[in-house]
Amino acid sequence: MTHQPVVYAIVLNWNGWQDTVRCLASLRASVGVDPCVVVVDNGSTDGSTERLAPLLDPSRDALLCAERNLGFTGGVNLGLRYARDHGADYSFLLNNDATVAPDCLARLIAAAASRPDIGFVGPKIVWEGEPGRLWSAGVSVAWPTARVNAHYNEPDDGRFDGHRLVQGLTGCALLITSAVLDRAGLLDDRYFAYYEDLDWSLRARRVGLRALYAGDARAAHQGSATTNRGAGRSQSALANYYGARNGLLFMATHAPPALRPLTLAAFCATLLTATVRVLAGGLMGRPGAARRARAIVLGALDAARGRFGARDNL
């Protein structure tokens, strides 16, 4: 008799139960695999737990409630530990503002089973409501320029339909094998949010586990509905801070030693350019520019000080 893999889908919620309801409905519509669902509530104050609990089957699903916001890393790690302790062969991270096609999970699992060195598999992710525009299709890093390329906003024109090994994958929609948890561990809590998924991919690679992009599996994402709430598609101060701080941590940790000074200099130049651009936007009437520029500077300073984890008063 063929072994049916045990799959746990982990959805992190923070004051966003409306998005989470849509996310769970897409998981329930999966064909070829019937995942157990773990919702991790990150200290919500909008009645999320009362809204979401009736949507879960207590015989196989779980609602884990944190007393405070643990960030993406802390909340996801809570779910991953639960999945591991309940015998998961695969864990599937899905942002609460994302949805999956009915065959997405089955395609990801088939890809993961295709070779023994696969630790992560990620689908093609498009913008919600704009299926012809990519949100992510695998991630690569150009160390000399400190540029991270996820094919963001590129057209879905057929170039990204196949399978290929990549440096990293986004945690927005990500299948993880049990080998990753056993050999590479959990997400690094120093990041709190942003760059933690790429860090995880590269740590897993060091212990022989690869990241595979599967372009025949499909997900859709609204785009940072939690950390960018109220900011549209521009970045919030929260995103600016963690992007700056964690980008420096990531580059300092993973850039090849011979290239590390160049990589860090390039990333600092990018932060300087971003700060000037944000302030220029403020002069043109864009609200919140001073706060966002301050967040970039604070992020860089905290990285230099070695101050990581959660940061209040942004």
Is residue 313, in this structure, part of any structural domain at all? no
Domain boundary among 193, 221, 249: 221
Domain boundary among 190, 221, 252: 221
Best CA proximity match to 188, nearest among 176, 174, 202: 202
Give the residue numbers spanning the domain of 243: 237-305
Domain count, the chain: 2
CATH of the domain at 139: 3.90.550.60
Is residue 136, in this structure, part of any structural domain at all? yes
CA distance to 36, 38, 200, per residue, from 110 (Å): 18, 22, 22
Is residue 232, in this structure, part of any structural domain at all? no
Structure tokens at 254: 């993973």
Q: Could you tell me if 214 and 262 lie in one domain?
A: no
Is residue 211, in this structure, part of any structural domain at all? yes
pLDDT value, residue 284: 86
Q: Could you tell me if 163 and 203 lie in one domain?
A: yes
Q: Could you tell me if 243 and 143 lie in one domain?
A: no
**pLDDT tens figures, 94-104:** 999 999 999 99
pLDDT value, residue 251: 98
Is residue 207, in this structure, part of any structural domain at all? yes
Q: Could you tell me if 42 and 138 lie in one domain?
A: yes
Q: Could you tell me if 266 and 189 lie in one domain?
A: no
Is residue 2, in this structure, part of any structural domain at all? no
Q: Could you tell me if 291 and 170 lie in one domain?
A: no
Best CA proximity match to 271, nearest among 303, 311, 223: 303
Domain boundary among 167, 197, 221: 221
Q: Could you tell me if 72 and 200 lie in one domain?
A: yes
Best CA proximity match to 130, nearest among 154, 106, 97: 154
Task: Say how far residue 16 (Cα) sits from the centre of its chain.
Answer: 16
**pLDDT tens figures, 163-206:** 999 999 999 999 999 999 999 999 999 999 999 999 999 999 99
pLDDT value, residue 2: 63
CA torsion angle 196 8 176 43 (round to 10): 0
Is residue 282, in this structure, part of any structural domain at all? yes
Q: Could you tell me if 31 and 158 lie in one domain?
A: yes
pLDDT value, residue 230: 46
Structure tokens at 180: 């990753």
CB 91 within 8 Å of CB 182: no
Q: Distance from first CA to last CA of the chain, Å, rounded?
A: 55
Q: Could you tell me if 269 and 296 lie in one domain?
A: yes
Is residue 314, in this structure, part of any structural domain at all? no
pLDDT, tens digit only, all 314 positions of the chain:
567 899 999 999 999 999 999 999 999 999 999 999 999 999 999 999 999 999 999 999 999 999 999 999 999 999 999 999 999 999 999 999 999 999 999 999 999 999 999 999 999 999 999 999 999 999 999 999 999 999 999 999 999 999 999 999 999 999 999 999 999 999 999 999 999 999 999 999 999 999 999 999 999 999 765 554 444 444 699 999 999 999 999 999 999 999 999 999 999 999 999 999 999 998 888 899 999 999 999 999 999 999 999 998 88
Structure tokens at 87: 């015998």
Q: Could you tell me if 26 and 158 lie in one domain?
A: yes
Q: Could you tell me if 204 and 262 lie in one domain?
A: no
Q: Could you tell me if 154 and 203 lie in one domain?
A: yes
